[in-house]
Chain A
Amino acid sequence: MRTNSLSPVQKVLLTGLIVIAVAWVLFPFYWAFVNSIKKPADTFRSVWIPWVQFQPTLDHWRQELDTPEIRRALRNSTVISVGAATLSVALGTLAAYALARFRFNRPDNSFFTTWFLSQRVMPPVVVVIPFFLIMRQVRLLDSVWALVLLNATFLLPFPVIILSQMFRELPIELEEASLVDGASRLQAFFRVALPLVVPGLVATWIICMAFSWNEFLFALSLTSNKAIPMPVIIAGAEHTRGVQFWFVGVRTMLTMLPPTIFALLAQRYIIRGLTLGAVKG
């Protein structure tokens, strides 16, 4: 880390910039919170500060937390995103290692990489109906496992791309040394290479989790009742009578809570782990 000293003016400018960036990032969350404690009649009044400008209410929170469907949806979302992220990182790590350490011909490495990437290109709506048919056939409609499987599939490109860059950065000598010592490829992978990319694994896992946490379209079409996750619940705040903004507020805050805690817990890995393709000395 470079520590070139800053002049006082630069310091003030930098601090100002950080304040602006933080305010920019946090304002929508503040607004979601304010919406969640406003009475419906106050939603579109120009008021910003609870108690000072309007009388806040906890009714929406109480009502939402009382709803078993919301608690269930939080649980479902957690199962889906943790399951899908874990599965895709597990599969993706192996593939990433293969792409980083082996050269394939016909099809070659870059074909595989772009092919993996292409999985994220097709608009999901085009394949929703066939997936519905598959899941009905295997009796996984309205099951969180259907969503775990699907999300894992469409998340795979992330671990493959990110981790293969990371494996490439590892000095290959360590693995080769262990191979010379008589270890198998698999052992070299598990004992030498894998432990070195743990921060990257965690970071990738978190990114995958964020994506599957927010996935909406598959969740919507493949669940109907007991497997419904949070994004569908949030979309349910739009009624025939318009969007119920106070529920959007509560639900946004609730939805944010679990991944935020995950992110804070793993926060130090996020930067360390994401050294995507950067070159190490």
Chain B
Amino acid sequence: MSAQLDSPPPAAIEPVTPRVRKDRTGAWFLAPAVVWIILFTIFPLLFALYNSFYSFRFGQRNQFVGLDNFGRLFTDPNLRNGLQVTLWFVLVTVTVEMLVGFGLALLLNREMQGKNILRAIMVLPLFATPVAMGYLGITIFFETNGPINDTIRALGGQGIPWLSSPKWAPVSMMILEVWQWTPFVFLVSLAGLQGLPQDVYEAAEVDGASGRQLFRSITMPLMAPTLWLILLLRMIEAFKVFDIPTSLTSGGPGRATEVYSLFTYRTALRFFDHGYAAAQGFLLLFIVMFIVTILYGRISELYE
């Protein structure tokens, strides 16, 4: 695969792959980041692992319990609930964010007036502190006379129990998440679209390809690596969602919005059961890394 120095520039759609180098210089580039991360995370990880073999009382290690904390992972209905809520959350929000974000990017990928300002506006939600958005959500989704229900009623509909119903509360939390992170998908995929080679489109258009054919046979294949990567980054973050459900609904009603991270948070910093919390952390690490590895394998294939 590797091109020689004197070879012609790679064809427009041929992905560039890392060159094989035998020299050691690469290690020097990689070393600072690797050392840094090991330095900062090795002790906390070992500490968490050590804790996971103990029961706790008053926030202090009490008794060695072997693998009990890991055993609890499989019998705890509240943990299963947290996993379920989170999986739905990831599935729905990431799907919606990808579809809407990429869709908008496709539509707005053209010359028009005010595009710079438009993009500046679209980037704003990324900077909105999630804790604040949760609190703000309480007033926006306010059921008796908040702005959304007011509008629905003015249009002749019935107010929706956004936060008080176990069916709707997860929807409300997902709406806030989608609001905050769709711009990320939009921006990154718009950037990707703008990087697509124009000559390929021009050639295809000369050949009389329709818009749909262009999309299917040029845009999608070229955008695929970008989209997979966005999906990967969004999924990792979505699995850890914590701030919005915490400040919007505190996990309620009941456990309807008690996402995994909130459950772990309660275990560790409300009930001070650090051992079990550590076990939960490792389970999440395992699940997400499993997914990441599969996805990343897919991305690597696309580059080959």
Q: Which residues of A contact B (CB under 8 A)?
A: 1-4, 14, 17-18, 21-22, 24-29, 31-32, 35, 43-46, 48, 91-92, 94-95, 97-104, 109-110, 112-114, 116-131, 133-134, 149-150, 152-153, 156, 158, 160-161, 165, 168-173, 176, 180, 185, 189, 203, 207, 210, 213-214, 216-217, 230-231, 234-235, 237-238, 243, 245, 248-249, 251-252, 255-256, 259-260, 263-264, 267-268, 270-281
A-B contact count (CB 8 A): 341
- Contact string, B249-288, partner A, CB cutoff 8 A, digits 1/0? 0000000000011001100110000100110110011001
B297 surroundings in chain A (CB, below 8 A): 110
Secondary structure of the B contact surface, majority rule: helix
Whether a CB of chain A sits under 8 angstroms from the CB of B198 is yes
B18 close to A168 (CB less than 8 A): yes
Q: How far is the CA of A28 from the CA of B103 in the complex (A)?
A: 22
Most buried by A among B37, B142, B261, B289: B37
B179 close to A28 (CB less than 8 A): yes
Q: How far is the CA of A172 from the CA of B1 in the complex (A)?
A: 14
Secondary structure of the A contact surface, majority rule: helix
Q: Which residues of B contact A (CB under 8 A)?
A: 3, 5, 9-10, 12-21, 23, 25-27, 29-30, 32-34, 36-37, 40-41, 43-45, 47-48, 104, 107-111, 116, 118-133, 135-136, 138-140, 142, 144-147, 150, 179, 183, 187-188, 190-201, 211, 222-223, 225-226, 229-230, 232-233, 236-237, 239-240, 242-243, 247, 260-261, 264-265, 268-269, 274, 277-278, 280-281, 284-285, 288-289, 292-293, 296-297, 300, 303
A95 surroundings in chain B (CB, below 8 A): 29-30, 32-34
B107 close to A14 (CB less than 8 A): yes
B187 close to A270 (CB less than 8 A): yes
Given the contacts A110-B300, A278-B222, A279-B12, A25 and B127 also touching, CB distance less than 8 Å: no
B33 close to A91 (CB less than 8 A): yes
Shortest Cβ gap from A113 to chain B (Å): 7
Q: How far is the CA of A189 from the CA of B116 in the complex (A)?
A: 31
A252 surroundings in chain B (CB, below 8 A): 128-129, 132-133, 136
Shortest Cβ gap from B141 to chain A (Å): 11
